Amino acid sequence: MSERWWIKGGAVYDPANGVDGEARDLWIEGGKIIDPPADRSAFAPRILDARGLVVMPGGIDIHCHIAGPKVNAGRQMLPETRREPALERRGGFRSGTIGHSPTTFATGYRYAGLGYTTAFDAAIAPLSARHAHLEFANTPCIDKGCFLLMGNNHYVMEAVRDGDSARLRNFMAWLLRAGGGYAPKLVNPGGIENWKRGREGSHTDLESIVDGFDVTPRAILAAAAQASHELQLPHPLHIHCNNLGLPGNWTTTLATMQLLEGMRGHLTHIQFHSYAGGEADETTFGSRVEPLVEYFNAHSNLTVDVGQILFGATTSMTADSAVGHYLSRLAGTRWHSHDIELETGCGVSPIEYKERSVVHAWQWAIGLEWFLLAADPWRIALSTDHPNGGSFTSYPRIIRLLMDSAFRREELEKLPPRVRERTALRSLSREYSLGEICIITRAAPARMLGLAGKGHLGVGADADVTVYAPHGDRELMFQLPRHVLKAGERVIWDGELVGAPEGETLSVAPEYDRGADSGITRWIDEQCSIRAANYGLAVRPE
Amino acid sequence: MTPPQRQRWLDVACGFCGCACDDLNVDVEGGRIIGIENACESARGSFLAGEVPADKATDFSIVGEPVGYEQAVSRAADLLTEAEAPFIYGLTRMTSEAQCAAVELADRIGGRIDTPAGLFCPALGTPLQQSGVSSCTFGEVRQRADVIVFWQCDPERTHPRFRKRYCPDGSVGPGAGGSRGAFVICVGDPGTKTATKADQVLPVSRGREYEAAGVVRGLIAGHEMGESAVFDQTGVSLAEWKLLAERLRTCHYGVIVCEERQAGLSDWSNRYDAAAVHQLAIDVCNRTRCSVVTLRGPGNPVSAEMVFTWQTGFPCSVDLVAGYPRYGPAEFSLERSIARREADLVVIVGEDWDHGLESICGRLGSVPWILIEDRAWADLPARPAPTIRIRTAAFGVATPGTLFRADGVPLPLPRLLESPFPDAGRVLADMLARVARATPTAGGEP
Ligand code: SF4
Ligand SMILES: [Zn+2]
């Protein structure tokens, strides 16, 4: 239950409002931050004595995979990883298993346990939206939303081919509404369609022709970014560039950045797209963060999240089927691929990131290079592309790597010489401040997502508040928040899970020309194996 | 008196076989379904049956005595509270939402839970857990397939509208191979209707699916094979297998269709066979695209796996007695649990009674059991009398919620009829609420 609160005397980090660790009081009523009440005794709040503690807005994960068929396939695929540790049923809380992708209830509890109160699943096929939303209904403690896959959608590609921007804009708006989505997402635009058509390899540059559609990835990107801009969406186009994971892909990434000139755009898990090297030659693999970050620093229309990897076993899951296939063949692992008509693919396979692997060590270093070379923390968000680069539960470790350069150097020393001697990390002594960590884990993602009520603690903001006990070891500090409130309701108290509010599902409903509806539904009725009336969330009048 | 309102529902999804056709038009008048378009014969019958009228004697009963709903639920909750090892089984004729309630109940009371899929799931687990799975939605079959292999199945009989709705008919959109229509190969009984419509038939011996898949895999990998050995093992000549392998290797988009538990044609109780077919498709994928489409039985079995997986991490056969999910395909099956006295109360909910329960029915009399079921007692095959029976709203006609098609595409089910009976999910939630009152540790709200 949402209560009245007086959070007293904490060192408040609220960068959006220029507060950097000053002792402040916060007042909460009706799930929102309010002005100090005129009559405190009449207000009769619960008091959270935060003196000596650090107070921040709840964390926001801008890019993770926590719901839908892909995640569920990942959960099912590796039962051997789910035995230990399990989450026991306790009091009114549900049980669960963890593995690389925790079950839904466990996901909500764990995010809250980390001080996070909002998360976005970054890759839902509109055709499966209903499934994702069912999982959301079973994911407590956090607000959640999803980005809908559009980059290989046949309707999108037809509209782009015809140069019909109105048709594209109307369709994207219709799709966001039909699927209860929060933002449009492109994954390897055009490349998945080519892969489904049996193109060898997955290398697609921006000028490659998408078979059967006579469009290029460049055209899809430009048109979808423009349409997102015109629809005035709170979050701009969310882009997983072409050629993820491939050596030498940095040129594609730079070209993508350049074509967005003058428009907002978010490039996700940028780490996976910043590689030097030629094809099939591991010795040339390396970092090209520097030229990319130079461009990025000079172009404020762009934002990124990092997609940091951590060493250890995890599961790769992506709409980019070609990547999934490549990884599973490389490692000889189990492989799941699922082609979704008219829209996308899906690839799931286990992966282990090893310190002694030159490629993996480079990936680790490249992510950190991005964090440390990006000049403006407001345009870079912390992510692991959970579970792809590692679990969201490893965010505290990344925070320590950013805040503690001595620790970072120690970790760097463990890497193969070829990597540790060449990475820019060698000469980077930058340490993030607490205020900057607060930016990249909440204030910046909120701003990128256009969430006016989140990521800050000003009057009117959602009362999603995390209270940490300061600790010299920043990993420990961020691993175990002392208290977490979700919309004014206690979720974590004294480090224990005490509440599991349902949380909200966040979606957008952009305005568009309703005259387009009949054409869209006719197209779906003709092309899709389900009827338009049943597509997406298909909420029927009772 | 106002004349009964006539209402037409368009694009209704059908939950009576794994095809989940969603283009049915249904006319409802006076609380009955009076007309239906686009349904196959079997669906027509199921829809027109609608809500079977209430039978006061058996709808809600305790050891055969008619009672009210409240009494039945209360007594069921008492049994659940007393039970040390409750087992919840079925979950097929239910919406996803009701399945969520079933898994929640098992979690909160600390029981075992399984679906009929558990009966067919060997200790090694599902194909996804063994080798992986390359699959696609039905629409991809229609848009892209240029070779379709019906692998020991007869959808013309079991999934009557599958081929017409989802297989290429030469009039498709911008997708790849399908525009020419697909070359259709039938591996299995040449006498089936599916086989008579195929371009090529390979009459593999019954029970030799595993060997057959191995032969095709070997040929695709380029291995030499002895002619007589191949014929002995599969009943089909090497030359014919070579043709099949060549078609798969050189197609644009191959699709292998199999049916999970088709009695009489194939012994799918051994899922090694299924895994072999999936491995074959994965092998083909190293050269071109190939997907396996697994047809599923009636009701909502895919949804049950999905719900199990997102709530527990495992697709079936979950034990929650220890307070957290443990996975024991085969080991935690209902049959074994009763036989080993590891279940002292059985709740059967949303079971379709069509498959696999014969061996269990004999044992059901030995423990108290609760039957939560959407059909009239008289319409069920003979079963030992349940301790408690609770009738629920008819699945597919009076159960708004979500249905998963066999390819994982979720669809809405509308409420075509008002039912005098509660939804299964509601019954389970009511039972849980009462159990929670009796044992606060089972908890409802945190
Ligand atoms: S084929 Fe199956 S889903 Fe389609 S109408 Fe018949 S029973 Fe229903
Ligand atoms: Zn991602």
CATH of the domain at B223: 3.40.228.10
Instruction: Express as a percent the part of chain B with pLDDT over 90.
Output: 69
Same domain, B164 and B278: yes
Q: What is the pLDDT of residues A204-218, one digit of tens each?
A: 789 999 999 999 999
pLDDT at B21 over 70: yes
pLDDT score of B269? 47
Window from A497-511, B40-54, B65-79, B267-281 with minimum mean pLDDT: B267-281
pLDDT score of B263? 35
Taking a C-beta distance cutoff of 8 angstroms, is the pair A103, A46 a contact?
no
Counting ligands in written order, the one closest to the CA of B164 is 1
Question: Which residue lies with its CA nearest to atom 4 of ligand 1?
Answer: B21
Residue A113 neighbours by CB under 8 Å, 6+ apart: A480, A481, A484, A492, A497
- For residue B279, the Cα-to-chain-centroid distance in whole angstroms is 22
Tokens of A154: 């046949």
Residue B309 lies in a domain: no
Same domain, B128 and B37: no
Give residue for tokens 């040449």. B190
Same domain, B361 and B419: yes
Higher pLDDT, A311 or A333: A311
Same domain, B197 and B291: yes
Q: What is the pLDDT of residues B237-270, one digit of tens each?
A: 999 999 999 999 999 999 999 987 643 333 444 5
Same domain, B387 and B372: yes
The rounded radius of gyration (Å) of the Cα atoms in chain A is 23
Question: Which residue lies with its CA nearest to atom 6 of ligand 1?
Answer: B40
- Quickly state the pLDDT bin for B354 (edges 50, 70, 90): low
Same domain, B126 and B111: no
List CB contacts (< 8 A) between A75 and chain B.
Answer: 309-310, 313
Taking a C-beta distance cutoff of 8 angstroms, is the pair A243, A255 a contact?
no
Q: How far apart are the first and last CA of chain B?
A: 50
Counting ligands in written order, the one closest to the CA of B161 is 1
Nearest CA in chain A to B329: A79
Q: Which of A194, A214, A339 to mutate to test the interface with B (most CBs of B within 10 A)?
A: A339
Burial (0-12, 13-18, 19+ Cβ within 10 Å), B239: exposed
Mean per-residue pLDDT, B222-240: 94
Question: Which residue lies with its CA nearest to atom 5 of ligand 1?
Answer: B39
Q: Which string of DSSP letters, residue by residue, matches A132-191?
A: HHHHHHT--SSEEEEEEE-TT-HHHHHHHHTT-HHHHHHHHHHHHHHTT-SEEEEESTTH
Instruction: Express as a percent the part of chain B with pLDDT over 70.
Output: 89
Residue B344 backbone phi and psi in degrees, to 5: -110, 5
Residue B210 lies in a domain: yes
Same domain, B74 and B174: no
Mean per-residue pLDDT, B371-387: 83
Mean pLDDT over the full length of chain A: 95
Mean per-residue pLDDT, A109-133: 98
Q: What is the pLDDT of residues B86-128, one digit of tens each?
A: 999 999 999 999 999 999 999 999 999 999 877 666 666 788 8
Q: How far is CA A459 from CA A23, A27, A456, in A?
A: 17, 9, 9
Is the backbone of residue A141 left (phi > 0), alpha (psi -120 to 50) or beta? left
Q: Which string of DSSP letters, residue by residue, matches A313-382?
A: EEEEEES-HHHHHHHHHHHT--EEEEEBTTTB--EEEEEEE-TT-HHHHHHHHHHHHHHHH-S-GGGEE-
Same domain, B252 and B390: no
Q: How many domains does chain B have?
A: 3
Kindly report the number of other CB atoms within 10 A of residue A494's CB atom: 8
pLDDT at A376 over 80: yes
Give A462's DSSP letter. Answer: B
pLDDT score of A161? 98
Taking a C-beta distance cutoff of 8 angstroms, is the pair B13, B403 a contact?
yes
> Does the beta-carbon distance from B311 to A96 stay under 8 Å?
yes
Taking a C-beta distance cutoff of 8 angstroms, is the pair B107, A94 a contact?
yes
Chain B nearest CA to A336, separation (Å): 5
Residue in B184, B182, B244 with CA at minimum distance from that of residue B212: B244
List CB contacts (< 8 A) between B132 and chain A.
Answer: 77, 328, 333-337, 349
**Ligand 1 residue neighbourhood (C-beta within 6 Å):** B 14, 16-17, 19-21, 39-40, 42-43, 159-161
Q: What is the pTM of this model?
A: 0.96
Residue B192 lies in a domain: yes
Same domain, B237 and B219: yes
Q: How many residues appear in chain A? A: 542
Residue B173 lies in a domain: yes
Same domain, B265 and B350: no
Same domain, B19 and B88: no
Q: Which domain holds residue B205?
A: 122-295
> Does the beta-carbon distance from B325 to A96 stay under 8 Å?
yes
Q: Which string of DSSP letters, residue by residue, matches B156-208?
A: HHHSTTHHHHHS--S---S-SGGGG--EEEEES-TTSHHHHT-SEEE-PPTT-
- Quickly state the pLDDT bin for B356 (edges 50, 70, 90): low
- For residue B15, the Cα-to-chain-centroid distance in whole angstroms is 10
Q: How many helices (H) and strands (E) does chain A have?
A: 19, 25
Peptide bond into B190 cis (omega under 30): no
Residue B229 lies in a domain: yes
Nearest to A334 among B132, B288, B291 (CB): B132
Higher pLDDT, A252 or A282: A252
List CB contacts (< 8 A) between A500 and chain B.
Answer: 446
Residue B304 lies in a domain: no
The runs of H, that is alpha helices, within B235-350 are 238-250, 271-285, 301-312, 334-339
Residue B445 lies in a domain: no
Secondary structure of A56-77 in HEC code, one letter for each residue = EECEEEEEECCCCHHHHHHHHH
List CB contacts (< 8 A) between A214 and chain B.
Answer: none
Same domain, B108 and B128: no
Q: How far is CA A259 from CA A51, A151, A169, A301, in A?
A: 49, 16, 19, 11
Window from A40-54, A99-113, B29-43, B361-375 with minimum mean pLDDT: B361-375
pLDDT at B172 over 70: no
> Which residue type sits at B124?
L
Mean per-residue pLDDT, B71-84: 97
Question: What is d(CA B352, CA B301) in angstroms, rounded to the nearest whole number?
Answer: 10
Counting ligands in written order, the one closest to the CA of B396 is 1
Q: Where does a domain end: B235, B262, B295?
A: B295
**CATH code of the domain in which B363 resides:** 3.40.50.740
pLDDT at B1 over 80: no
Residue in A472, A473, A470, A495 with CA at minimum distance from that of residue A482: A495
- For residue B126, the Cα-to-chain-centroid distance in whole angstroms is 14
pLDDT at B175 over 50: no
Nearest to A335 among B132, B315, B408 (CB): B132
Taking a C-beta distance cutoff of 8 angstroms, is the pair A472, A139 a contact?
no
> Does the beta-carbon distance from A196 to B166 stay under 8 Å?
no
Residue in A221, A215, A211, A298 with CA at minimum distance from that of residue A255: A221
Higher pLDDT, B446 or B311: B311
List CB contacts (< 8 A) between A96 and chain B.
Answer: 311-313, 324-325
Question: What is d(CA A331, CA A456) in angstroms, rounded to the nearest whole number?
Answer: 43
pLDDT at B170 over 50: no
Instruction: Express as a percent the part of chain A with pLDDT over 70.
Output: 98
pLDDT score of B178? 40
> Does the beta-carbon distance from A76 to B310 stay under 8 Å?
no
Secondary structure of B39-55 in HEC code, one letter for each residue = CCHHHHHHHHHCCCCCC
> Does the beta-carbon distance from B314 to A82 stay under 8 Å?
yes
> Does the beta-carbon distance from B325 to A542 stay under 8 Å?
no
Instruction: Express as a percent the part of chain A with pLDDT over 90.
Output: 91
Q: How many residues appear in chain B? A: 446
Residue in B246, B245, B252 with CA at minimum distance from that of residue B217: B245
Residue B306 lies in a domain: no
Distance B159 CA to ligand 1 centre (A): 6
Tokens of B435: 């159990």
> Does the beta-carbon distance from A529 to B139 stay under 8 Å?
yes
